[in-house]
Structure 1
């Protein structure tokens, strides 16, 4: 006997055979029982959810020879012939291949004739969104006012493509995706009746693969049962469908958590050797971390996802990550997944995405208590072992040093401001406005040490590589480069590079934390060791260097600006103009 595919052999023949659409079944049964059947219906929803099957069952119910009832009898000649497709008055039309206006005009002409074999003519138009605009226009009037013996049932997976004039003439029913539990139960029933032995985990995984479509689930079950001679196991389903077990995702997540790039690359190579596709691996890994985030943030979230087979394992893994880290991982994976479709080498992009995750640091681990910062000690980082990554320690040290510098600058600024207020002349206070606080007035601490180190070998090495640093900043973020290129390195002291700016606004913009971070990352990468960025105005640097050269035993040859050589003006508004616009844009005329 010829084999019939499971999705055809188990196609619903009555409303009670349908899975997961109780809200639609009950409405249609009540309408048939009360003889309030509409002349036009619109069935919309994902593929494999029972739209066409429901249309055929409805056609049998309104034409059953035993009278209108909530279910067709499936025994009378009309029901049997409609099931076999041998009734000319019940037509199923494929709109994808009959989408032109001529086919719809022909249908419109035939509608006026009375049925010859059954009680009502039923036209089932499948994939109705494929009709052309002209075909829809030809169907409008007939759909709105058909003869009393005609019923239209339109089925589509994309209802948004239908004109509003068509939708408004139909009763619309939205078919939903079949839930995981309903699919697994239906698959178990079919396996019992077909003599197929299947593990519960295997059926649940098949249901997850079908994405809510019952027809897809039955097709996968049919394929796997043929391959395994009626013995369906979880591992066989994974091997046949190219799926990845959750244990491998757990190993990937553990390697990301521990920062083990070697293990990550080994696992990726193993997946590729097994024939997995890089884009599917990345997509499933994104789903895995999404589930971890849901379980961590929402109690009882194992009911919110169809991918969790063992919630206890997910709970343990979710507790190992912080919320911020999970948000960053999901965001990064989503971005790389969008780029994957354009990638020439998907495996390479997959590996880069995992290495990116491996190098990310939790924001919470970078927070440093004030007491620890003031004491200058590096606190232990929560969640890390004693063998921490040297890069993490360097970053923590740089951040501690930056905090110390900012604290020292704040203390100095407060002391200077207090001294000015204390010594200010009462006569000058009413006439003078408060000075504008900007980066122009900021002098970096330890300027004397920077002046002493301005001819050091470290500065020479940095100065030679400065064009490489500028190019790196440009490649990383061109907007930061546009402001940073105004600066020029003038000294290097230990782990700090002093950069002098001619224009105040360029210095202010460079000092922003986000821009500073970009520049310091590039300097660490291009100069071979981490450096802090310290800024100063060029005129302040020249003045400080000149004062140092004027001291006994020191001489310095220095180029001066024209108006500097003649003597800087003592007028306060001239100094303010220079601070606002820079020396290059200010011309002093006598």
Structure 2
């Protein structure tokens, strides 16, 4: 039997055949009985839950020769022809391939004509969210005031992509996922009617894989029955769908629990030899640990929502994993699953993910504590406490030096200056609230902002972003907040609007990768410097003001031509801070 043939044979033909949608069935049947049908319906919900089937059943019910009736008879000529799709007045349109304004205008022109074969014209628009904005605008007026003989039924899996003006003109019905017991009972009925021999565990496994979609469940049963010759067992169902046996899950969980890297690599090698997909294996392993977590937190629901067929084995392993460790395992697998989509070698990513889980036994990795270096997370608690105490002492000395007005040079010669913002913050009692200024000297960059090299960097920045995205999509998410503003002395200066994005980009691993990409694009070694956008704008405007004032400076010179006398306070200030012009702006 060909794939999907079983579903076509068992596709719902009456409202009573709709599995798991009793609330919708009852509402539509009552509307037909009381002659309170709407001119437009919106059926939305997950795939395979019966939206298009319900639309066709409704079209048959309102046009049945023995109706309108709460249930179509499926025996009259009209019902049979609507089922076959040969009635010209019942039109099913796939909006994914007919999404333009011209197709909708054609509908708008034809709705004014009365039906020729049946009682009411019915337009079923599947995947309606794929229509263009112009097509929705063309549909809007017709949907608002259609002729009395026309009914529209819109079906979609993504109702949030529909304009609110369209949704407000429809009666909306939300189709829900079919529950596991309802799916299993329906699959058992189909297997008995088709003469299949199916194990109960296999049917439950198929229902879990379908994720609430009845169509997917029937299609999987059809596929597995074709693969096994009509004898559906759990082992064959797992093998036919590319899943992992529960024994392999158990061996992997034991290896991760014991930190046995060799056993993990051996199991991965066995999976790849069996033709398994690395991303699917990682996804199923994440579901396995999710089921284990549910076994700890909600034992009464774990058996009905999980994908593992041996709950007793799951409970045995759940006792060996602390709850916090299960959370960290699921989080790490989820992150690697996201990165695997862009990886050139998914198997390598899968191996690294599981090796990381093995090496994290009994400790919290730096990946689980964002912002904490790996060396700090593995350092003894005593050393960390000493470092924190020393850091606090240095901060106290720095604050005392600033309050005395001695500047940063008193804290130790050779230290880089933090900028003019520190001097003003020393006079403010709430200095902690002031943002830390950049340690990058911005004057060379401000002078080179309009140079040919800076313009070349700006022109090639989209290529840099694309290459970074290919290398590591997570770094691209942070870097895209930045804007290249200047190139000077082999260094690209990038200005950021968000402090967190800048700090994450400045991490050594991320910064090194970005520098390599910039160097390869520009054809020369490159360094990366970052600055906050507001600080850069201040520096750039200050440089422009200084250049403008340079040609207009007026000096008072005595008659004998000697240098004018300076005030003692000015002399002391020049001795402490130098003669360079500093522009101070209040934030």
> Normalising TM by the smaller chain, what interval?
0.5 to 0.7
| Aligned-residue offset at 1:246 | 2.2
Measured against aligned partners, the alpha-carbon deviations of 1:463-490 in whole angstroms (never above 9, x if no partner) come to: xxxxxxxxxxxxxxxxxxx9xxxxxxxx
> Equivalent residue of 2:355, what SS?
helix
Mapped contact 2:3–2:219 kept (Cα < 8 A): no
Could you say which residue in structure 2 is the equivalent of 1:211? 211
Instruction: In structure 2, list runs of 5 or more residues that go unmatched.
Output: 366-376, 398-438, 440-506, 509-575, 579-587
Specify the alignment match of 2:436 in structure 1.
none
1:51 maps to what in 2?
Answer: 51
8 Å Cα contact 2:209/2:217 also seen in 1: yes
Structure 1 residue 586: Cα displacement = 11
Deviations 1:436-456 (A, max 9, x none): 9724899xxxxxxxxxxxxxx
- Residue in structure 2 matched with residue 438 of structure 1 by the alignment: 393
- 2: CA distance, partners of 1:3 / 1:153: 28
RMSD between superposed Cα atoms in Å:
3.1
Residue number in structure 1 paired with 2:498: none
Kindly tell me: are residues 221 and 304 of structure 1, through their superposed partners in 2, closer, same or farther at Cα, counting changes over 3 Å? closer
**Residues 104 and 139 in structure 1, CA contact (< 8 A), matched pair in contact too:** yes
Question: What TM-score, normalized by structure 2, do the two folds share?
Answer: 0.62
Residue 27 (1) aligns with residue 27 (2): yes
Aligned residue in 2 for 1:538: none
Three-state SS of the structure 2 residue aligned to 1:152 is strand
Distance 1:9 1:226, change over 3 A: same
Classify the secondary structure of the residue corresponding to 1:30.
helix
Quick check: 1:324–1:363 contact (8 Å CA) kept in 2? no
What CA distance in whole angstroms lies between the structure 1 residues aligned with 2:274 and 2:177? 31
- Cα separation, partners in 2 of 1:4 and 1:439, compared to 1, 3 Å: closer
Partner of 1:390: none
Please give the alpha-carbon distance, in whole angstroms, between the structure 2 residues aligned to 1:303 and 1:203.
Answer: 14
Q: How does 1:72-83 map to 2 (within 5 A)?
A: 72-83=72-83
Helix, strand or coil at the partner of 2:309: coil
Aligned length: 394
- In structure 2, relative to structure 1, the CA distance for the partners of 1:44 and 1:4 (3 Å cut) is closer
Q: Give the drift of 1:73.
A: 1.3
Please tell me whether the aligned partners of residues 208 and 305 of structure 2 are also in contact (alpha carbons under 8 angstroms): no
Shift of 1:268: 0.7
Per the alignment, residue 148 of structure 2 pairs with 148
**Counterparts of 1:4 and 1:281 in 2: how far apart (Å)?**
26
Contact map agreement 2:224 2:237 (CA 8 A) in 1: yes
Give the 5 Å matches for 1:138-537. Answer: 138-303=138-303, 305-362=305-362, 399=380, 402=383, 438-439=393-394
- Taking a change above 3 Å as real, the CA distance of residues 440 and 174 of structure 1, as seen in their structure-2 partners, is closer
Do 1:19 and 1:178's aligned partners in 2 also have CA atoms closer than 8 Å? yes
Shift of residue 306, structure 1, vs aligned partner:
3.3
Q: Distance in 1 between matches of 2:54 and 2:392?
A: 75
C-alpha separation in 2, matches of 1:319 and 1:60: 55
3-state DSSP class of the match of 1:438? helix
In the TM superposition, residue 401 of structure 1 has moved relative to its aligned partner by 5.9
Deviation at 1:225, TM superposition (A): 1.3
Cα deviation per residue 1:553-575 (whole Å; 9 max; x = unaligned)? xxxxxxxxxxxxxxxxxxxxxxx
3-state SS of 2:305 partner:
coil
Once residues 298 and 9 of structure 1 are traced to their aligned partners in structure 2, the CA distance between those partners, rounded to angstroms, is: 39
Distance in structure 2 (CA, Å) of the matches to 1:401 and 1:116: 88
Distance 2:142 2:153 in 1: 13
8 A contact 1:324–1:362 mirrored in 2: no
1:193: Cα distance to partner? 0.4
Bigger-Rg structure (1/2): 1
Aligned equivalent of 1:113: 113
| Unaligned segments of structure 1, at least 5 residues | 366-394, 414-435, 443-481, 483-517, 520-584
Q: What is the alpha-carbon distance in structure 2 between the residues aligned to residue 279 and residue 183 of structure 1?
A: 27
Q: 1:246 to 1:105 in 2, by over 3 A?
A: same
Q: Following TM superposition, by how much is the alpha carbon of 1:120 offset from its aligned partner in structure 2, in angstroms?
A: 1.0
CA contact (8 A) 2:3 2:222 kept: no
Residue aligning to 1:137: 137
Q: Partners of 1:265 and 1:2 in 2: how far apart? A: 38
The CA deviation string for residues 305-335 of structure 1, in whole angstroms up to 9 with x for no partner, is 2313222221111111111211221121122
Distance 1:4 1:353 in 2: 37
Q: CA deviation at 1:141?
A: 1.0
- Separation of aligned partners in 2, 1:339 and 1:132: 32
Matched position secondary structure for 1:155:
strand
CA separation in 2, counterparts of 1:168 and 1:152?
14
Where 2:125 maps in the other structure, the secondary structure is: strand
1:302 touches 1:308 (CA, 8 Å); kept in 2?
no
CA shift, 1:96, in A, is 2.0
State whether residues 104 and 135 of structure 2, in contact with CA within 8 Å, keep that contact through their aligned partners in structure 1.
yes
Aligned counterparts of 1:307 and 1:245: Cα–Cα separation in 2 = 11
Contact 1:49 1:175 in 2 (8 A): yes
Question: Structure 1 residues 440, 60: closer, same or farther in 2, change over 3 A?
Answer: closer
Shift of 1:44: 1.0
Partner SS state of residue 300, structure 1: helix
1:68 paired residue number: 68
Note the C-alpha offset of 1:3.
10
Q: TM-score, normalised by structure 1?
A: 0.62
Q: Aligned pair in 2 of structure 1 residues 77, 199: CA closer, same or farther (>3 Å)?
A: same
* In structure 2, distance between residues paired with 1:34 and 1:324: 56
Checking the alignment, whether the CA contact within 8 Å between 2:258 and 2:361 is kept in structure 1 is no
Contact 2:64 2:79 in 1 (8 A): yes
Shift of 1:364: 9.6
Task: Check whether the contact 1:201–1:234 (CA below 8 A) recurs between aligned residues.
Answer: yes
| CA 1:441–1:64: 2 relative to 1, 3 Å | closer
Q: Aligned to 2:13, what secondary structure does the other structure show?
A: coil
Classify 1:277/1:2 alpha carbon distance in 2 versus 1 (closer, same or farther; 3 Å).
Answer: closer
* CA distance in structure 1 between the partners assigned to 2:78 and 2:239 by the alignment: 45
